[in-house]
Amino acid sequence: MKQTDIQELISARLLSSSKSITENEAKKIFKLFHIPVVEEKKETNINRVLDACGKIGFPVVLKGMGQNILHKTESG
């Protein structure tokens, strides 16, 4: 992600009904500014999840994601 990508992302969010950026987008921005973040992998298939866990190493944390869920406390 380049600085121009960040500007486009923020501009698009300001014009949309969803003003928040995703955690994944935030981490890409952090990486651009050399702010360390934990390794992550986004998967939707259980076999790929298990494969990613093996590659990342244990322990791992699984996190649910959804378009209308910004934080885990919003899902119950």
Question: What pLDDT, on the 0 to 100 scale, is given for residue 62?
Answer: 80
Q: What is the DSSP letter of 75?
A: G
Q: What digits encode the pLDDT tens for the residues 19-75?
A: 788 888 888 889 888 999 988 888 888 999 999 999 988 888 887 777 666 665 555
Question: What pLDDT, on the 0 to 100 scale, is given for residue 73?
Answer: 59
Taking the model in full, what pTM does it have?
A: 0.54
